[in-house]
C-alpha cells in the first residue's frame, strides 16, 4: 500500500526536483520564482506531510499555475543542458588547471629542494671550514699564550722580573 503511493508520487517528485534544480541553475528562472519555495514550504507544513524538502518542492510544483508549468517545461531542459555542459567544462578546466598548477608547484618545490640542497651543501662546507679555522685559531692562541713563551717575552721584551720583597702590596 504505502509502497504504491510512493511509486505514484515518484515521477512527479523527480520532475519537480529537476525543476527545482533548474530554478537554482538558471539565473533568470530562479529570480522569477524566488518566492515560491518559501510559500510551498508553508503549505507543506499546513498539510501535515513529513516527506522533507524534496516533497515540499513537489507540492510547490503542484501549486503553480498550469500554464506557467508548461512554459517552464518547454524552456528549462534546453537551458539546463547548456548550463550543465558549461558547468562540466568549467569543472574540467579548473581541474586541469589545478592539476597543472599542482604539477608546477611540485616541480617548483622539487627544484627548490635541490637548490636548497646546494645552498645547504655550500653552507655546511663553509661551516666545516669555519670550524676548522676556529680550531686552528684556538691552537694558535694556546701556543701564543703558553706560559713558556709569555715568560720569555715578559723577560726579554718587557724586561719584567719576579717581584722583589716589598714590591707586592696586598690590597685591603
Partner 1 sequence: MRRSIERNHRRLTITKVLFLVVTLVVGGRAFQLQVLQGDRLMRLGQRQHLKEWIVLPKRGAVIDRAGESLALSLESQSVYARPHRIQNVDNVSRKLAGVLNLRVAEVKQKITAAKPFVWIKRQITAPEAEKIQVLNIDGIGMFYEPNRHYPQGQLAGQVIGFVGRDSEGLEGLELKYNDYIRGEAGSSVTERDALGRRVLVQGVEGLQIPPGSDIHLTLDTAIQHIAEKELEASILKYRAKAGVAIIVDPFTGEVLALANYPSFDPNLYNKQSADQRRNRAVADSYEPGSTFKTILAAAALEEDVVGKEDLFYCEMGKYPYAGKIIHDTHPYGWLSFSKILQVSSNIGFTKVAEKLKKDRYFKYIEKFGFGRSTGIDVPGEVPGLLRKAETWSAIDLATHAFGQGISATPMQMVMAYAAIANGGFLMRPYITQRVVSPQGEVVLENQPHVVRRVVSEKTAKQLASMLSQVTTEGGTGAMANIEGFEVAGKTGTAQKADPVHGGYSNKRVGSFVGFVPANNPRLVALVLIDEPEGSVYGGVVAAPVFRNIAQGALRRMMVAPQQAEALPVAANIAQGELPLRRIVKLSSESAAADNDTQVPDFIGLSMREALEKAQLSKIKVKLQGNGYVVKQLPAAGDRWNEDGMLMLNLQG
Residues that bind partner 1 (CB under 8 A): 113-114, 116-118, 120-121, 124-125, 129, 132, 135-136, 138-139, 141-143, 145-148, 151, 162-163, 165-166, 168-172
Closest separation between CB of residue 151 and partner 1, Å?
7
CB-side exposure of 129: number of CA atoms within 13 Å?
A: 6
Q: Which is nearer to partner 1, 6 or 160 (CB)?
A: 160
User: What are the C-alpha distances in Å from 163 to residues 143, 156, 166, 168, 170?
Assistant: 26, 16, 8, 7, 13
Residue 153 C-beta: closest distance to partner 1, Å:
13
User: Is there a contact between 34 and 44 (Cβ–Cβ < 8 Å)?
Assistant: no
Q: What is the DSSP string of 21-53?
A: HHHHHSHHHHHHTTTHHHHHHHHHHHHT---HH
Least separation in angstroms between residue 105's CB and partner 1 is: 17
Instruction: Give 62 or 121: the residue with its C-beta nearer to partner 1.
Output: 121
* Residue with Cβ nearer partner 1 (85 or 135): 135
- Minimum distance between the CB of residue 162 and partner 1, rounded to whole angstroms? 8
Amino acid at each position: 500500500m504505502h509502497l504504491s503511493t510512493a511509486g505514484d508520487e515518484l515521477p512527479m517528485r523527480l520532475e519537480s526536483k529537476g525543476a527545482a534544480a533548474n530554478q537554482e541553475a538558471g539565473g533568470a528562472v530562479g529570480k522569477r520564482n524566488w518566492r515560491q519555495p518559501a510559500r510551498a514550504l508553508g503549505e507543506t507544513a499546513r498539510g501535515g506531510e513529513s516527506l522533507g524538502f524534496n516533497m515540499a518542492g513537489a507540492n510547490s510544483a503542484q501549486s503553480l499555475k498550469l500554464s506557467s508549468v508548461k512554459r517552464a517545461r518547454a524552456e528549462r531542459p534546453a537551458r539546463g543542458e547548456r548550463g550543465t555542459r558549461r558547468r562540466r567544462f568549467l569543472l574540467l578546466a579548473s581541474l586541469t588547471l589545478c592539476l597543472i598548477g599542482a604539477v608546477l608547484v611540485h616541480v617548483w618545490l622539487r627544484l627548490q629542494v635541490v637548490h636548497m640542497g646546494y645552498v645547504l651543501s655550500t653552507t655546511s662546507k663553509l661551516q666545516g671550514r669555519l670550524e676548522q679555522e676556529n680550531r686552528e685559531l684556538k691552537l694558535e692562541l694556546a701556543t701564543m699564550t703558553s706560559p713558556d713563551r709569555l715568560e720569555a717575552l715578559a723577560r726579554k721584551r718587557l724586561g719584567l722580573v719576579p717581584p722583589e720583597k716589598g714590591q707586592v702590596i696586598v690590597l685591603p
